[in-house]
Amino acid sequence: MEREAWLRGIWEMVKEGVSQRLLSWHLPSPPFLIPNQLSGLTVIVTGCTSGIGLCVAREMVMAGAHVIMACRNVEGANRIASEWTEDTHNSKDILVEVMPLDLLSLASVHSFGEEWNRRGMPLHLLINNAGAFYMKEDGIERHMQVNHIAPALLTLLLLPSLLKAPFSRIVNVNSVAHHCALIDPTRWKSKINDGDFNAIRAYGESKLAQLMFIKTLAAKLYKKKITSIQCITVNPGIVNTNMVKQQQKHKIAEWKLFWMFSPAEGARSVLFCSTNESVVKNTVECFAHYSSVCTPTKEAPQAMDVNSCFDVWKKTMEMLDLDMDHLSRLIDV
């Protein structure tokens, strides 16, 4: 089964690399949003000082949204926000602020959630963009921490704020690499000296867990007759970001940059899933998984298994020290 998943994942990644430019030829070039398109909306974007997150945050700011840049590099984010304000003729229309968030620290995630919830504001869009690919690990396996566990906690903490908006979306930036892995919770705390550690598989498994968790959240909300929150996962394609540069540094592969998406092109599907009305029509029980060319697509087979998805939910709640009734209590408040 694991070998089958690995081969399927490699095929999906090769197919993505070969076809993404061909299949996206008809899609628009940036900017993708128009001025004032998002006026009145409040958006939190994680990991937005570079790459896809930076492009997403900038477009949303320029389209009139109130954007909170949630990131570890606060100094860099403040500098970027200042540049946006200075570059805009009518700076009073720029609504952007920076809040510290370190996904390697669950304490930091809790602090962020508590500070945000004290405002009592509705949240219209949560974009869990921040992600990481590590070559070396220790302690809690960092791929799982940054790509799944911490964003899952952040999502649960911000759920009351998302429920205050008439309509809201949770958009998780996923990856075609989720096809490479099978969920095995015994690996969620692997260390680098464990004989079975594989960085690519660990990355893929973290993205698969992310997808299965949010899919279960959507099903649970739908069962509670809460349809105001849509849960979307999106593969942005194979994008030339800092993660790719990291792999070049470690000489994993000689990447051919001409077929990769730029960060702005990678942001296209994320922005589409965050703002386009057709996405809501394509959800099933408040969930949808989208491709890099802005069309619904199938997730890995394990993510289609309801019981496996529930196992991921249960393990995640256990790692977060939350009981199985936590969601019900959040909703009933």
134 a catalytic residue: no
Catalytic residue among 134, 203, 222, 290: 203
- Sheet with 168-173: list strands edge to edge: 95-100, 66-71, 42-46, 125-128, 168-173, 229-234, 287-290
- Please choose, from the candidates 86, 196, 194, 209, the residue with its C-alpha nearest in 3D space to the C-alpha of residue 144: 209
Gap between the Cα atoms of 127 and 208, Å rounded? 17
CA atoms within 13 A of residue 65's CA, in its CB half-sphere: 26
Q: How far is CA 110 from CA 105, 116, 152, 321, in A?
A: 9, 10, 12, 13
Strand ranges for 86-154 from DSSP E: 95-100, 125-128
Distance of CA 30 to the CA centre of its chain: 20
Hey, which residues are catalytic here? Answer: 203
